[in-house]
């Protein structure tokens, strides 16, 4: 049977389809050469809280089968993921017996997930570990703690987390700490306190990346003033495009050039789509009004808000929205300071059209290729930038460990006595 050559078949395709194929092939070529390093995946928390059939059960949440969340092994393979920071998130306002206990449980979940699939996931602690895993066809797997409340004002606890494999810590989550202001809470300190500065210095000495997602602009600025190594934003987007507290102002983006850090642009709809953010703001205002209208009647409030939701359907963010934020960070901070931080499994399955799960990373790179991004630029975005940040932080840590011992400073010594 005569089989026409592939080149002839491509000519028969519509122009748009041929163009799409070229850009997708370019994306895949990039991801074969460079590990795609995603800055934030909440799979450990999804297993803990959203897997209702068996919470915390790593064995029953089988990644070799299709899952209810955004992540499984088949989709990771299609997404050509090469490095993953698994978030070991603990809520800052969770009513429990202690943040440190929950943090240890989250670390345990993540480590058990990594150990369960050794043919696909490989523990990683350094930038070189990610390159090594990628060369072996595996996903270099690191841990990222989300929220400095988990150290419970203790530098010794911080060091213990590093020894357990944590390679970044988000300074705050949504709650302002005794030593740092959060974006979604009141700014009590104007940024970092003196103890907060000591936390940053000790993270630099360890080689633990300082993550500025979730923190206030004042905290961002203070960290950049004191940091001795590049910082990251593990899952944030551009405030100039969507004006919400969780996004990064242009003034901070401009400072990343001097620091050497990277903003890993997130996929969260309310951070990348103005339509989604505006609808959220309107809903918040409506909820306040409704609660005043029906004080102490939660059932009435729920009915009224259900009616409002039906009349005001949630808009959809798109892959193009995310690409717009990546383009903006590239424009303001520079091509060396942008990366990807999806927040998969942390959005209640509310994700942009075209970026519904971990299989979709090549589609995002293909969109940027259509916008004129070169292979060299896409390699930096996919992984080279954050791997450079890690390598630099490791080199700085090696020097600082020679220069100074582990810090024994306390919050009482630095802040509370001073305040009294």
Active site residue 343: yes
- Name the active-site residue from 23, 40, 149, 325: 40
Find the catalytic residue in 72, 129, 336, 343: 343
Q: Which one is catalytic: 214, 325, 328, 337?
A: 214
Q: Residue 98 in contact with residue 152, Cβ under 8 Å?
A: yes
Pick the catalytic residue: 129, 146, 211, 367?
A: 146
The one catalytic residue in 23, 134, 189, 235 is: 235
Are 383 and 36 in contact by the 8 Å Cβ rule? The answer is yes
Task: Let me know the angle formed at the C-alpha of 286 by 283 and 291, rounded to the nearest 5 degrees.
Answer: 125
Does 321 participate in catalysis according to the annotation? Answer: no
Annotated active-site residue 40? The verdict is yes
Annotation says 328 is catalytic = no
The region that residue 40 occupies, defined by phi over 0 for left and psi between -120 and 50 for alpha, beta otherwise, is beta
- Say how far apart CA 264 and CA 337 lie, in whole Å: 8
Query: Could you give the residue ranges of the DSSP H alpha helices within 117-266?
Result: 127-135, 155-163, 194-206, 217-226, 250-259
For the chain, percent helix, then strand, then coil, each to nearest 5? 50, 15, 35
C-alpha closest to that of 300 among 310, 291, 311: 291
Alpha carbon 300 to chain centroid, angstroms: 37
As a whole number of angstroms, the distance between CA 324 and CA 77 comes to 26
Residue 42 known to be catalytic: yes
What residues are labeled active site? 40, 42, 146, 173, 214, 235, 343
């Amino acid at each position: 049977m005569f089989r026409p050559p592939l080149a002839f078949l491509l000519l028969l395709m519509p122009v748009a389809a041929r163009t799409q194929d070229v850009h997708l092939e370019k994306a895949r070529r990039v991801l074969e050469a460079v590990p795609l390093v995603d800055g934030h995946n909440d799979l450990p928390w999804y297993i803990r809280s959203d897997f209702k059939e068996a919470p915390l059960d790593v064995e029953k949440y089988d990644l070799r089968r299709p899952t209810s969340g955004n992540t499984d092994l088949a989709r990771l393979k299609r997404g050509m993921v090469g490095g993953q920071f698994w978030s070991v998130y603990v809520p800052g306002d969770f009513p429990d017996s202690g943040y440190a206990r929950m943090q240890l449980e989250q670390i345990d979940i993540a480590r058990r997930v990594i150990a369960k699939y050794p043919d696909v996931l490989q523990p990683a602690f350094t930038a070189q570990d990610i390159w090594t895993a990628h060369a072996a066809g595996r996903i270099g797997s690191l841990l990222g703690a989300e929220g400095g409340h988990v150290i419970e004002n203790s530098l010794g606890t911080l060091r213990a987390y590093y020894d357990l494999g944590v390679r970044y810590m988000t300074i705050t989550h949504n709650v302002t700490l005794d030593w740092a202001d959060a974006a979604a809470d009141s700014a009590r300190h104007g940024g970092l306190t003196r103890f907060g500065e000591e936390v940053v210095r000790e993270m630099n000495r360890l080689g633990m990346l300082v993550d500025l997602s979730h923190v206030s602009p004042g905290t961002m600025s203070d960290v950049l003033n004191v940091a001795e190594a590049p910082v990251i934003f593990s899952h944030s987007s551009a405030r100039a495009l969507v004006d919400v507290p969780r996004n990064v102002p242009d003034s901070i983006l401009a400072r990343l050039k001097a620091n050497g850090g990277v903003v890993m642009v997130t996929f969260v709809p309310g951070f990348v789509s103005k339509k989604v953010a505006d609808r959220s703001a309107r809903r918040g205002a409506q909820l306040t009004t409704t609660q005043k209208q029906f004080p102490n009647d939660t059932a009435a409030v729920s009915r009224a808000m259900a009616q409002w939701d039906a009349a005001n359907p949630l808009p959809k963010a798109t892959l193009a929205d995310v690409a717009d934020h990546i383009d903006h960070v590239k424009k303001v901070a520079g091509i060396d300071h942008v990366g990807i931080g999806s927040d998969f499994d942390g959005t209640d399955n509310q994700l942009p059209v075209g970026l519904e799960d971990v299989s979709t990373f090549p589609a995002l790179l293909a969109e940027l290729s259509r916008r004129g991004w070169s292979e060299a630029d896409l390699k930096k975005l996919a992984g080279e930038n954050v791997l450079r940040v890690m390598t630099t932080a490791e080199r700085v840590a090696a020097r600082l460990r020679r220069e100074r011992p582990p810090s024994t400073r306390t919050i009482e010594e630095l802040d509370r006595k001073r305040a009294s």
